[in-house]
Amino acid sequence: MSSDLMPPSNASFPGDDLFDWYDAHGRDLPWRHRWPALAPVYHLWLSEIMLQQTIVKTVIPYFLEFTGRWPTIESLAAAPVDEVLAAWAGLGYYARARNLHKTAQIIAAEHGGIFPVDQKTLLALPGIGPYTASAIMVMGYGQPGVVVDGNIERVMSRFFAIKTPLPKAKKDIAAAYEQCRPTARPSDFPQALMDFANAVCTPKAPGCGICPLANACRAYADDMAEQLPFKAPKRQKPTRRGVAFVAINQDGEAFLERRPDQGLLGGMVAFPSVGWTQTDWSDADVRAADSAAPFAADWRQLPEPVHHVFTHFALEMTIYYAETNGSFIGANSGWWQVPQPSQLPSLMRKVWKQVETSMHLQARPKKP
């Protein structure tokens, strides 16, 4: 360990103070148990997959729905993938749901419904990367290990005043975590750090005045806590353009289709669309998009597009709308159904809301 990572006066990490804080102020989350109890690994794994790129407040109702419908990993494995995808709708990053279902089937069929206590085997499962594998080992099985998410990166960066920008600093942060990791309460340590980062060591205006670690914190001593961690400049996300086609029949049903399993919104129910998975669609392509409609109809462009942000790009989605008798589909596979927003991915919810607002569909009678 480099001396650059030592806290002021070579003081040790005040782990007991952190645990005292956690015992008094830690969050009670439905997937969490406290040492010496360990959370069911199925619950821990499910929560960790849901929490990727998603905040705790959003995840809790989804977690409760999943564990209510599928209380064991065997029941999740036996569920039709379409039901799993529909229950996931709104959480985004839909490859997570497909991988979730695949992993459940593998664990049920090949491991007797029990996650292996082996990092290498865990890493071979769909959707499980180094962080999730470590979380299962440490928080699910109480094994020693390094569990570092964005919250813990912030605490370690500040406590040791690590000035190397992220993501380059990840190696130093992992080493700092290893230096601090206590032998007692291994499953509680990362959870205590996460809650502490959420409540005290916050990204902006950290609560250094009430921080139980402040006396040993190097960033606090250097009056630079709020500046850390340093991050490399973000690249501006490119903007893509696309078109969604929303056709409504006389019963208030919309024409829907299922997207291909691979790619963005894979396997999800959606309105037909074109263009947005490519990088080179121009305004002219959008204006001429009615030629790519799923079938011939009196397609009209709505005045306002919807905007959505994916991980690597921003999207401007123009909407073409048509009213039909619903008697033709053409060569495309699909079906007519009154849209259920809860079963649509976030982008398509925005599309449907825009259509309802623009065309005043709420006032139209709909088929039950």
CA distance 66 to 87: 7
> Quick check: 206 pLDDT over 60?
yes
Give the pLDDT of residue 210. Answer: 96
Q: Domain 239-363 classified CATH 3.40.1010.10? A: no
pLDDT band at residue 331 under the 50/70/90 scheme: very low
Q: Which pTM does this prediction carry?
A: 0.80
d(CA 26, CA 198): 10
Query: Which CATH architecture fits 3-227?
Result: Orthogonal Bundle (1.10)
Per-residue pLDDT reduced to its tens digit, 250-261: 888 999 999 888
Q: What is the pLDDT of residue 270?
A: 94
| Cα angle for residues 141, 143, 147 (degrees, 5° grid) | 100
Query: CA 333 from chain center: how many Å?
Result: 30
Active-site annotation holds for 304: no
Do the Cβ atoms of 176 and 160 come closer than 8 Å?
A: yes
Percentage above 90 pLDDT, the chain: 73
Which one, of 5, 46, 40, lies nearest residue 174 by Cα? 5
pLDDT at 328 (0 to 100)? 60
User: For position 260, what pLDDT does the model report?
Assistant: 87
Look at residue 364 and tell me whether its pLDDT is greater than 70: no
Which residues neighbour 8 within 8 Å (Cβ) at sequence distance 6 or greater? 216, 217, 218, 221
* pLDDT per residue as tens digits for the range 76-131: 999 999 999 999 988 888 889 999 999 999 999 999 999 999 999 999 999 999 99
C-alpha closest to that of 171 among 192, 193, 156: 156
- For residue 209, pLDDT over 50 is answered with yes
Evaluate if residue 9 carries a pLDDT over 90: no
Q: Spot the catalytic one: 48, 153, 253, 257.
A: 48
Residue 366 has pLDDT above 80, yes or no: no
Would you state the pLDDT for residue 327?
Answer: 60
**Across 149-178, average pLDDT:** 96
Contact 274, 287 (CB under 8 A): no
Exposed / middle / buried, residue 194 (Cβ in 10 Å: 0-12, 13-18, 19+): buried
- Domain borders along the chain are 3-227, 239-363
pLDDT tops 50 at residue 363: no
For 54-65, how does the pLDDT look when each residue is reduced to its tens digit (9 = 90+)? 999 999 999 999
HSE-CB for 345 with a 13 A CA cutoff: 23
What is the pLDDT of the chain when averaged over all its residues? 90
Return the pLDDT at 285.
76
> Which one is predicted more confidently, 342 or 223?
223
Q: What b/e string do you get for 56-86 counting C-beta neighbours within 10 Å, with b at 16 or more?
A: eeebeebbeebbeebeebbebbebeeeebbb
pLDDT band at 157; cut points 50, 70, 90: very high
Q: 306 pLDDT band (50/70/90 cuts)?
A: very high
Residue 266: predicted pLDDT: 85
> In the predicted model, is pLDDT for residue 287 greater than 80?
no
Q: Say if strands 254-258 and 335-337 run parallel, antiparallel, or are unpaired.
A: antiparallel
- Residue 6's pLDDT band (boundaries 50, 70, 90)? low
Comparing 99-108, 143-152, 231-240, the range with the smallest average pLDDT is 231-240
Separation of alpha carbons 33 and 44, rounded Å: 10
How far apart, in whole angstroms, are the C-alpha atoms of residue 122 and residue 106? 11
Cβ neighbours of residue 279 under 8 Å, at least 6 residues apart?
A: 238, 240
